[in-house]
Amino acid sequence: MISPIPSWFWLFLDYNNSNFPTLVRTICVTRGLRSIVTPGSQYYEFGVPREGSDDPLAREGPVSPFMYVRGIREIGYGVSMEIVGRLHDPRGVTWMLAVGAAMSVGDAVVVAVFGRGKYSMVLYHLLVALYFGAMAYLRSQSSSVC
C-alpha cells in the first residue's frame, strides 16, 4: 500500500535519525536567507507590524535592520546545528534543540507583546517551541543518544 504521507515527513518525528540535524539546518538557513533577501515580508510571517505602522498586516513601510539580524540568527542556528550533527555529538544536538525551544518561546513573547493581536503567530511560535522541546526531551530520554 502506498502512503499518502511523503516519506520525508517522518524525518520530522524521528529524533534519533542522523539526518535530523540536517533537516533543522536546512529549515533554519532557508528562513534566514529569506529574512535577508526579503526582509519586508518577514514582518507578516514573524507576526509583528512594520516599523511605524499600527496595522499588523501592513506590507508597506520601512524595514528595520533587526530583520537582517533575525536572518543572521536563523542562519547561525542552522549552521551550528549542522556542525554539531557532523561532529556526531548527540548531546550537542539535544542541547541545540533545547536552545531552539527557548528561542521560540522568546519569539512568542515578542509577538504577544508587539504583534498587536496576531495571536495565531504566537501559537505558531509556541508550537515550534513545543516541537523542539519535545524532540530535545525524547532525545535526552533515549539511551542511543545520551
Over range 78-107, report the average pLDDT.
93
Express each pLDDT in 103-124 by its tens digit.
999 999 999 998 888 899 999 9
Using N-to-C axis directions, what is the helix angle for 66-86 and 20-37, rounded to 10°? 160
Q: Kindly tell me if the per-residue pLDDT of 73 is higher than 90.
A: yes
pLDDT tens sequence across 26-69: 999 999 999 999 998 888 888 888 877 766 566 777 888 889 99
Between 53 and 86, name the one with better pLDDT. Answer: 86
Domain boundaries, the chain: 19-144
Quick one: average pLDDT of 96-102?
A: 95
Q: What percent of the chain has a predicted confidence (pLDDT) above 90? A: 47
CA angle 19, 21, 24 (to 5 degrees): 110
Nearest to 145 by CA among 93, 96, 77: 93
Mean pLDDT of the chain: 85
Q: What pLDDT shows up at residue 44? A: 84
Position 84 scores a pLDDT of 92
CA–CA separation, 50 and 61 (whole Å): 6
What's the mean pLDDT in 14-22? 74
88 pLDDT more than 90: no
Measure the N-to-C terminal CA separation of the chain; round to a whole number of Å: 36
Beta strands in 36-89 (DSSP E): none
